[in-house]
Amino acid sequence: MHNLTLTQSIAGLRNGQFSSRELSEALLARIAEHNPSLNAFITVTAERALASADHADQQRVAGNAGPLCGVPIAHKDIFCTRDVRTSAGSKMLDNFVPPYSATAVERLEQAGAISLGKANMDEFAMGSSNETSYYGAVQNPWARDSVAGGSSGGSAAAVAARLVAGATATDTGGSIRQPAALCGITGLKPTYGRISRWGMIAYASSLDQAGPMARSAEDCALLLREMAGHDQLDSTSAEIAVPDYCGELNQRKDLSDLKIGVPSQYFGAGLDDGVATAVREALAVYESLGATLVEIELPNSALAIPAYYVIAPAEASANLSRFDGVRYGYRCADPKDLEDLYRRSRSEGFGDEVKRRIMIGSYALSAGYYDAYYRKAQQVRQLIKQDYDAAFNQCDLIAGPTTPNTAWAIGEKSSDPVSMYLEDIYTIATNLAGLPGLSLPCGFAQGKPVGLQLTGRHFDESTLLQAAHHYQLNSDWHQRGPEEFCQ
Amino acid sequence: MDIEQLQKLATLSRLNITPEQSPALAEELDNVLRLVDQLQAAKTDGIEPMAHPLQIDQPLRRDTAAQPADRSALQNIAPATEAGLYLVPKVID
């Protein structure tokens, strides 16, 4: 049962082949067996899940089944879940049980989805390997000594290891697409504003965006359709109608009207040969499906990482100032005065990477440096957006590698933050411009999965999903799983 | 970055950095600053800074009464409260 996709699970539940309780129990048993080593979940909510499964089974009998009725999923532990601990991977929030749920979580619940638990992540989503989590690194199901990617490493590993068929995740600089690539699954970062950020613990508010992870584009469409849409509680969520992503998947007979831009900058130095080969083969498949490849330029792409490491830490230093030991979360023992309460609660509650980014942000925003760093980074952000505007005059989608390398060994880069930052070289510009991006499996290098990244126009997730779906109808990379977890 | 600068940043960030942590942290921050210094080479004369990816207008909602926040639910998760107030160490003697 664990090898079923979301789409197949829904069909099985609808046809009465199995109940939601049976499906949930089967997956919970797998979590109990594999999670102690994989570490994909921080919290497993077995009892609540089974109660929800029973409720879903009753709803189905009563004829009230929603589109995801009885389907088990997982939530990244960055989404507030009412009465369920929400840690954001941090000691700071190890004791935080929110009194409300994120809008994305509520919408999936209303559609009938069942949460089996909260997925591991880099602390406050700051990391590319899941190693900054207070709860420890996540193992990559394809190579247990390797990282699962980050920050949504737990969600990606849980989906790849067939512990759940779908999960929620978030992406600020690549945190959905990069772990999706490293774990051989499909992950979509929608356009900024497509999904409400209400109840999603903030890292960098002008970049953060929620999205789905699953084993196919078809399954991502199912989750996105429920998660997307305007929310009064998030004034940056767009008031733009949500298309029927599932219905539109097969809108195109072939891809003959699709122009795919290939940026020369994404195939230069630093790209692993095996990754390059797999990505070029995927582009050849697109050509064989009728798409036209056009070479494009994104001349400022090398500046995306430097701009990001000013803008994201600057926003983070402001967002994380709320963690003060007063209203919720960690408080140090016996503070001698208010200043001591703030400083010691934060010093003891935050991990090293979070502290580094807060301090970089404080530096970039401080008097005398603001123009040289923050303002300059925002200008470069504008240049990067203009590059994309020009590129999308020539093409409908942009394609390239999601990551320069496959999954690296746990511990290999953790002592050198900058070398880790460079792993996000192809994903970060998309967040700066607010564009939607998707990673889908397109082969292997050194026995580990390789991801193909597709980037689209603002609010054109449908074209991304259609292009990914067509590829998946004509390839089987997305159906492959790590042998150990597929039996 | 020298130790004095590092301590100033720590104060701005409300963090404590011990003397033992300082040298390694200063080096790590220097490495990040070297990375972001690549920005200085970009030609940005006359380029409007971009703070946000979308041009969204501030949306309006209907002026109807909403449920007030449930104070007790929010304070149940606080480290220390009394009579609906958050408790912190004494600020004024």
The pLDDT tens digits of the residues spanning A339-371 come to 999 999 999 999 999 999 999 999 999 988 999
**For this structure, is A175 an active site residue?**
yes
Q: Where are the beta strands (DSSP E) in A27-70?
A: 41-44
Give the residue among A163, A210, A202 at the shortest CA–CA distance from A46.
A163
Section B40-55 average pLDDT: 92
Of A151, A216, A301, A345, the catalytic one is A151
Which residue type is seen at B93? D
Backbone angle region of A106, left / alpha / beta, with phi > 0 → left and psi within -120 to 50 → alpha: alpha
Kindly tell me if the per-residue pLDDT of B59 is higher than 80: no
Section B66-80 average pLDDT: 92
**CB–CB of A75/A168 below 8 Å?**
yes
How does DSSP classify residue A243?
P
The token pair that represents B48 in the structure block: 């409007």
Residues from chain B contacting residue A338 (CB–CB below 8 Å): 88-89, 91
| Domains of chain A, earliest start first | 6-255+475-486 (3.90.1300.10)
What is the average pLDDT value for chain B, to the nearest integer? 92
Q: Using the beta-carbon criterion (under 8 Å), do B77 and A347 form an inter-chain contact? A: no
**For this structure, is A76 an active site residue?**
yes
Residues from chain B contacting residue A376 (CB–CB below 8 Å): 39-40, 42, 44
ipTM for this model: 0.95
Kindly tell me if the per-residue pLDDT of B57 is higher than 80: no
Residues in chain A with pLDDT < 50?
none
**CB–CB of A173/A207 below 8 Å?**
yes
Closest to A341 (Cβ–Cβ): which among B28, B48, B89? B89
How does DSSP classify residue A195?
B
Give pLDDT, residue B82.
96
Q: Mapping DSSP to helix (H, G, I), strand (E, B) and coil, where does residue A175 land?
A: coil
Chain A touched by B66 (CB under 8 Å): no
Residues from chain A contacting residue B88 (CB–CB below 8 Å): 326, 335, 338, 341
How does DSSP classify residue A387?
H
The token pair that represents A465 in the structure block: 């999903």
| Residue in B closest to A236 by C-alpha | B56
A394 backbone dihedrals φ, ψ, rounded to 5°: -105, -15
Section B38-46 average pLDDT: 96
pTM above 0.95, yes or no: yes
